[in-house]
Amino acid sequence: MKIGALFIFILLSLDQLTKHLAKAFIQLSDPDIIWIPHVLQLAYRENRGASGSMLQDQQFLFMIVTIIALAMFGYLFLEVDFKQKKTYSWAVVLFIAGTLGNAIDRALLGYVIDFLHYPFLDLILDLFNLSNFYNNFADLYLSLGIVLFAVDLFFFETKRKKETPHDHVQSTK
């Protein structure tokens, strides 16, 4: 669990550092910084809502959801084991780091700093009215955490359940 806590700290620090750098440097740039044409742009945004700026200014709701999520992730964190359950452990670490990263912004600033934009997704996101989709490292952590959790659940958890303790015991006869 100590290694999991260390990874959470490192990821959370990276998230907060990139957000502060975005506020200090990208906020002043006009127009947006095109890092990789048609793939990645950097643009400072203050998001007072959820993903895609949905549920604007619902800070109390976000606080309740964050507390519930952190309680659930904390419970899952009890099973973190980077030797036996790598994928599961990374998923839980990413969930916690991502949730805390955006919670810190909401608590201290009243909004989440977003600065990553993916122009190649605009056409698809326009279909769902999410054309102004910007995110940050905490959001990426949460997205990757969901993928890893699903992979663990569908592929590795079933293998772990099939194994029994006697499968690993060598006979001394």
- Per-residue pLDDT for 36 more than 50? yes
Residue 130 has a pLDDT of 67
Residue 52 has a pLDDT of 56
| β-strand partners of 40 | 36
Q: Please count the structural domains in the chain.
A: 1
User: What is the share, in percent, of the chain residues with pLDDT greater than 90?
Assistant: 60
What is the spatial order of strands in the sheet that 134-135 belongs to?
A: 33-36, 40-47, 112-117, 134-135
Q: Give yes or no for a contact between 112 and 102, defined as CB atoms under 8 angstroms apart.
A: yes
In this structure, is residue 166 part of a structural domain? no
**Residue 53: band (very low, low, confident or very high) from pLDDT cuts 50, 70, 90:** low
In this structure, is residue 173 part of a structural domain? no
Averaged pLDDT of the chain: 87
Residue 101 has a pLDDT of 97
Residue 164 has a pLDDT of 54
Per-residue pLDDT tens over the stretch 10-33: 999 999 999 999 999 988 777 788
Q: Give the residue-averaged pLDDT of 83-108.
A: 96
In this structure, is residue 99 part of a structural domain? yes
Q: Find the domain containing 86 and state its range.
A: 2-159
Distance of alpha carbon 89 from alpha carbon 114, whole angstroms: 26
The residues annotated with a catalytic role in the active site are 114, 139
Per-residue pLDDT tens over the stretch 107-128: 999 999 999 999 888 888 888 7
- Per-residue pLDDT for 86 more than 60? yes
In this structure, is residue 171 part of a structural domain? no
